[in-house]
Amino acid sequence: MRSFLVTLAACALLAGCGKQEATPESRPPTDVSVIHIVPRDTPVSYEYVGQTQSSRQVQIVARVEGFLQKRVYTEGRLVKAGQVMFQQDPKPFQASFNAAQGAFAEQQARLQTARDDLARVKPLVARNALSKKDLDDATGREQAAAAAVDVARANLDQARLNLGYTTIVTPVTGLSSYARVQEGAYLNAANSLLTYVEQVDPMWVNFNVSENDILGFRADAAAGRLRLPQNDQYQVEIVLANGSVYPEKGRITFANADFNQKTGTFLIRATLPNPAGELRPGQFVRVLIFGPVRPNAILVPQQAVLQGARGHFVVIVDKESKAEMRGVEVGPWQGDQWFITAGLEAGDTVVVDGMVRLSPGAPVKIVDAAAKTPAAEKSTPAGGAGQTKQ
């Protein structure tokens, strides 16, 4: 009995040794989803953090000394250009204007008398009835009277201006601030600031672009990897704090020539229409810059790009329907996709789902294939979804 068991065990061992391990060729094909690489011009955008600023902030100040009689406007409301905001007591200035008006009329009368005298003296001197000195005296009186009229006219104009300054208006349309001085206060040089008016249409949006970004744009443009819009006609879009996209589009209108050494950035300004006053000065917004295009760009979904000891790689399907690992060089993100700068070319078939079950040379079965690399109809910020640049 014991010898029979030993013989049976030996036979089982020999049978086990006779089995061969399954080769990759003998494995069933793995189901995968793929995309077919089609290079194409791809619009890209860049995202930064910005802050809104009034395109014109005006100080409303008192130009003449006197008592503040009334605040006419409603604090915080929109005021129109030319609208009255404050009224100073005009009575002292009206009196000064009346006095200047009377002095002007007096000087005009004196000038007329001097001209009449000169007109009578001239023919008498011509007939030698009066001396040349009489003519000189008459001429001098006429000229002095004319100069006195000019002085009186200037005093009248100044009195008219001072009287007009008692009615204080806003030169721009914008949002008003609170009143710094209350009714009944005496206004002078020390407390002449009454309030501010901030123009909100159009609105400025300031943001900073790092030196690395600027150098990167120039290098990519010089190498042909990036095509910038002609005449720097970038389109600007902003996203508000609640995630909603502001409906009005803008343009970049100013780039500061000075480099900020403290932040390592350049100041850029965009101008956007704000007809409804939805934007207010001081808001933080996300700034999206559109216009650059990556020519003949290759995009693949981020899940298709793997990383190993030698760097990034993708799994492609060769002509024999087998898996092949291929190293690639990656660029920036574009939404949920990745720009591939080297390693892929038109016509390659890249596995986007099921690659974790594959090994080099493993047979694959394509169960879902896209005609071309998928991309959103509207470009999303380069650099990764949800990432912003300070």
| CATH code, domain carrying 97 | 1.10.287.470
pLDDT for the residue 388 = 45
Question: Quick one: which of 36, 35, 39 has its CA closest to 341?
Answer: 39
Question: Are 220 and 203 in contact, with CB atoms under 8 Å apart?
Answer: no
CATH number at residue 256: 2.40.30.170
Q: Which of 121, 145, 165 is at the close of a domain?
A: 165
**For residue 3, what pLDDT is reported?**
40
Sign of the dihedral through C-alpha 84, 88, 94, 100: negative
CATH number of the domain that 37 lies in?
A: 2.40.420.20
Final residue in a domain of this structure, among 294, 323, 347: 294
For the entire predicted model, the pTM comes to 0.73
How many domains in the chain?
3
Last residue of a domain, one of 259, 294, 329: 294
Predicted confidence at residue 62, as pLDDT, reads 97
Q: 243 and 309 share a domain?
A: no
- Which domain covers residue 264, as residue numbers? 46-55+200-294
Instruction: Kindly state whether residues 207 and 288 are assigned to the same domain.
Output: yes
CA diameter of the chain = 178
Q: What confidence score (pLDDT) does residue 373 get?
A: 46
Nearest alpha-carbon partner for 239 in 49, 55, 44 = 49
CB burial class (10 A; 0-12, 13-18, 19+) of residue 135?
middle
Indicate whether 121 and 142 sit together in one domain.
yes
**pLDDT tens digits for the chain (390 residues)?**
344 333 333 334 334 444 444 454 567 888 899 999 999 999 999 999 999 999 999 999 999 999 999 999 999 999 999 999 999 999 999 999 999 999 999 999 999 999 999 999 999 999 998 899 999 999 999 999 999 999 999 999 999 999 999 999 999 999 999 999 999 999 999 999 999 999 999 999 999 999 999 998 899 899 888 999 988 899 999 999 999 999 999 999 999 999 999 999 999 999 999 999 999 999 999 999 999 999 999 999 999 999 988 899 999 999 999 999 999 999 888 888 989 989 999 999 999 998 888 888 899 888 876 644 444 444 556 544 334 444
290 & 204 share domain? yes
Q: Specify if 375 maps to a domain.
A: no
Query: Residue 40 and residue 295: Cα distance in Å, rounded?
Result: 6
- Integer Cα distance of 349 and 302 in angstroms: 15
